[in-house]
Amino acid sequence: MPRLVEKEHSMRTPSLFPTYFISHGGGPWPWMKREMGDAYAQLEASLADIPRQIGRTPRAILMVSAHWEMPAFTVQGSAKPPMIYDYGGFPAHTYQVHYDAPGSPELARRVQQLIATAGLPAGFDAERGFDHGTFSPMAAIYPNADVPVVQLSLKRGLDPAEHLALGRALAPLRGEDVLVVGSGLSYHNLRNFGPQARDVSRAFDDWLDASVVQAAPGERTARLIDWAAAPAARMAHPREEHLIPLMVAVGAAESEAGERIYHETDFMGGIAVSSFRFGAL
């Protein structure tokens, strides 16, 4: 099993990794190319480019998935996480797919410690598996499943300030060769998808880019706390679980610049979607 701490790295201090907020797509899309054609080609290319961007292989990835909510921030502690097929109505073969990356109980305990030290509620789940908010994008980022991955839950209530605080608590991991990724979707309204969502998705996407890329860091934080006042906010996110991982990624790089690394204006027939990176490379 890959170790979080390796002897050959013990004498150096690595530069800080950036953090990411990625749009993870719908369900088990990497295993549905025959059915979906090139619908995910641009998203897949953007995810596959992350290893090139960061320039070195992380010792582990901490993935904050939109598909896991708990009463307290809870860390996945399994050394060999199982699969959670948390979707419905997809082809039978997508309920047999596997992404067999190892977990890292060592990193999980470190994450739990950082969260608790920050005065936030911190739980540990030794049985939790990978949901599609993790295994679908990871199949594009590291298709060989050879980098340890640990999931971290959202906290019920989905308070943006609490999740920004979570990101601040996790910031030390960036200097420990751990890549922090928030996995959600920049637009997530399954009842208003396709061409009819073109205008509202673009309005929110424009606000998102202005807030996390163009705004100064202090203004960015204030805008994210008050995100529900954004144009078309509740049309883009009737429930905000797919947006809240962004707060964690921003909190962990709060004083640093943001950059949009993926953008489509015609995703799934009309949706504007984006992914972002925070912190220098």
pLDDT, tens digit, 9 for 90 and up, residues 22-68: 999 999 999 999 999 999 999 999 999 999 999 999 999 999 999 99
In the chain, the N- to C-terminal Cα span, in Å, equals: 28
Token pair, residue 6, equals 């390796």
Nearest-CA neighbor of 150 among 243, 73, 208?
A: 73
Token pair, residue 212, equals 């996390």
Q: Residue 238 pLDDT more than 50?
A: yes
User: Global pTM?
Assistant: 0.93
Q: Residue 14 pLDDT more than 80?
A: no
Mean pLDDT, range 149-158, rounded to an integer: 98
Backbone CA torsion sign across 101, 2, 252, 261: negative
Nearest-CA neighbor of 208 among 180, 183, 238, 228?
A: 228
What does DSSP assign to residue 17? P
Mean pLDDT, range 131-143, rounded to an integer: 98
60 phi and psi, to 5 degrees?
-165, 160
Average pLDDT, the chain: 93
pLDDT score for 6? 39
How is domain 7-278 classified at the CATH fold level? Protocatechuate 4,5-dioxygenase; Chain B (3.40.830)
Q: Residue 35 carries which side chain, given as an amino acid letter?
A: E
